[in-house]
């Protein structure tokens, strides 16, 4: 294996492909199957809920598998499954009842996505360790910028006049290209003396026994929860409170493009003042942005667009700096990192489940009906949940972040000490 510098553009391309198979699937696939094959939204929702449960509980097993397999071939196989699943979902007429085909293709797609995410982030730990001082933040900036650009493209492309089939074909081609760009950057799952570093032999236990790693996982859970809440309620808020359903697509794109543009700036700021200080600034800015939502009403699309820019920019910090901190800790306590990032992936997905359980039943009890006329009390609750609950959750995340005493150097020392 050569010692050439890693191709960071390859990391960005790989991240963009993974992002295109993530959140956009939850936005577009149900609508496509409902409109094209007449499947009820209730049935599709039940299938997605069941698949989400499978997706969450399988992450530890996928982390174990990721640690046992050579990363290069594992990534190639995972990318092949991901591309085939996307083609099956959008570009192949269902050869079995559409609802079963929908479930089957998504099982393969979600499993491949989760597996590749674990392998990819674990590889990031290995690669950043060879990049010297600031390597984790620099790699995270490239990786998360690719993630946000991939989300933005995948959020728009399936709705273009050509339909989702060309998107699926382009996605499969991009998957091949991304793997090719990273082909020389994969490293194995054994240390220098050949010792197996599987999560069962040290990854899971090392992470869960390590106080700084546990704290970072809790911070990740608390800090991702506001995004999960706002993502769950975004369509409802724009449609029912702002009364601007036509603006949903542009606002959604504006949010993610802002996050993508801000990610390198947060990385640069973190190199100057430290990750903890930069994250604290981003959390306070996010609270200010979300709280402004509470005073908006029908027709306030432009002010809400500015809020999307501000909150999207703070998301760029969340996606860049927290994974970099966690990766740097994994380098110390669990260098193979597959087990650690299986737990990290679990925490990220858990926020979506918690958000759905916490906010959707509350709206239902208040009498909120998607796409219908809603009482003022239901709209007020929707506004409070969308703009107020994320502030409370961000306060909790900031409090956890501040539990490390002292300034930036103290945070760095605490997360890097054994």
- CATH superfamily assigned to domain 8-189: MFS general substrate transporter like domains (1.20.1250.20)
Which whole number is the average pLDDT over 37-43?
71
pLDDT at 3: 52
Residue 197, pLDDT > 60, answer no
Query: What pLDDT is attached to residue 411?
Result: 40
Q: Average pLDDT, whole number, for the chain?
A: 77
pLDDT band at 331 (very low <50, low <70, confident <90, very high): low
The pLDDT confidence band at residue 307, using thresholds 50, 70 and 90, is very high
Pinpoint the alpha helices (H) of 39-97.
41-57, 59-68, 71-90
pLDDT score at 352: 67
Distances, alpha carbon 256 to alpha carbons 23, 135, 137, 171, in Å: 12, 24, 20, 19
pLDDT tens track for 166-194: 888 989 998 988 888 877 777 655 443 34
What does the pLDDT look like over 56-107, one tens digit per residue? 677 777 877 877 788 788 888 999 999 999 999 998 899 999 889 999 998 8
What confidence score (pLDDT) does residue 6 get? 63
Between residues 100 and 134, the one the model is more confident about: 100
**Who wins on pLDDT, 44 or 265?**
265
pLDDT at 158 over 90: no
Please state, for a pLDDT cut of 90, what percent of the chain lies above it.
12
Going by C-alpha positions, the residue among 121, 113, 103, 185 that lies closest to residue 154 is 113
Same fold, 8-189 and 197-418: yes
For the chain, which residues make up each domain, given as ranges?
A: 8-189, 197-418
pLDDT for 302: 94
Could you give the 3-state DSSP secondary structure of residue 3? coil
The predicted-structure confidence for 332-389, as pLDDT tens digits, reads as follows 766 555 566 667 777 776 776 677 667 767 877 888 776 678 888 889 998 999 988 8
Q: What integer pLDDT is reported at residue 412 of this predicted model? A: 47
Q: Is the pLDDT of residue 273 over 70?
A: yes
3-state SS assignment for residue 196 = strand
Whole-number pLDDT of residue 410: 38
- Please, are residues 333 and 201 in contact by the beta-carbon 8 Å criterion? no
Mean pLDDT, rounded, for 217-245? 82
CB atoms near residue 36 (< 10 Å): 14
Which CATH number among 1.20.1250.20, 2.30.30.30, 1.10.645.10, 3.40.50.150 corresponds to the domain 197-418?
Answer: 1.20.1250.20
Tokens of 327: 């990766």
Q: What was the pLDDT predicted at 301?
A: 93
Give the residue-averaged pLDDT of 312-340: 74
Q: Which has more pLDDT, 363 or 398?
A: 398
């Amino acid at each position: 294996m050569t010692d050439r510098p890693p191709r960071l553009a390859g990391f960005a391309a790989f991240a963009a492909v993974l992002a295109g198979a993530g959140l956009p699937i939850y936005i577009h696939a149900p609508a496509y199957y409902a409109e094209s094959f007449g499947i009820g939204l209730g049935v599709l929702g039940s299938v997605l809920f069941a698949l989400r449960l499978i997706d969450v509980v399988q992450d530890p097993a996928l982390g174990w598998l990721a640690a046992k397999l050579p990363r290069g071939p594992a990534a190639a196989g995972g990318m092949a499954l991901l591309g085939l699943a996307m083609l099956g979902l959008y570009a192949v007429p269902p050869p079995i009842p559409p609802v079963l085909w929908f479930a089957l293709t998504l099982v393969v797609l979600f499993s491949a996505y989760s597996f590749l995410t674990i392998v990819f982030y674990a590889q990031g730990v290995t690669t950043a360790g060879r990049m010297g001082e600031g390597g984790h933040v620099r790699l995270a900036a490239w990786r998360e910028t690719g993630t946000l650009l991939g989300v933005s493209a995948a959020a728009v492309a399936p709705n273009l006049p050509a339909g989702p089939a060309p998107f699926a074909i382009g996605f499969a081609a991009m998957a091949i290209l991304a793997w090719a760009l990273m082909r020389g950057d994969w490293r194995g799952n054994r240390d220098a003396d050949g010792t197996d570093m599987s999560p069962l032999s040290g990854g899971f236990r090392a992470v869960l026994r390590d106080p700084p790693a546990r704290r970072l996982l809790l911070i990740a859970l608390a800090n991702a929860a506001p995004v999960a809440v706002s993502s769950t309620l975004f369509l409802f808020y724009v449609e029912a409170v702002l009364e601007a359903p036509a603006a949903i697509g542009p606002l959604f794109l504006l949010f993610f493009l802002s996050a993508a543009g801000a990610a390198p700036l947060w990385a640069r700021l973190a190199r100057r003042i430290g990750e903890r200080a930069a994250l604290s600034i981003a959390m306070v800015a996010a609270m200010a942005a979300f709280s402004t939502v509470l005073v908006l009403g029908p027709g306030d699309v432009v002010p809400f667009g500015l809020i999307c820019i501000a909150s999207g920019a703070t998301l760029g910090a969340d996606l860049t700096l927290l994974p970099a901190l966690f990766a740097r800790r994994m380098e110390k306590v669990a260098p193979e990192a597959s087990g650690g990032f299986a737990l990290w992936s679990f925490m990220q997905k858990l926020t979506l489940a918690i958000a759905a359980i916490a906010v959707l039943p509350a709206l239902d009890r208040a009498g909120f009906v998607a796409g219908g006329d809603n009482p003022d009390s239901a709209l007020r609750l929707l506004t409070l949940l969308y703009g107020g609950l994320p502030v409370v959750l961000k306060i909790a995340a900031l409090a956890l972040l501040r539990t490390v005493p002292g300034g930036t150097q103290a945070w760095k020392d605490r997360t890097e000490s054994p």
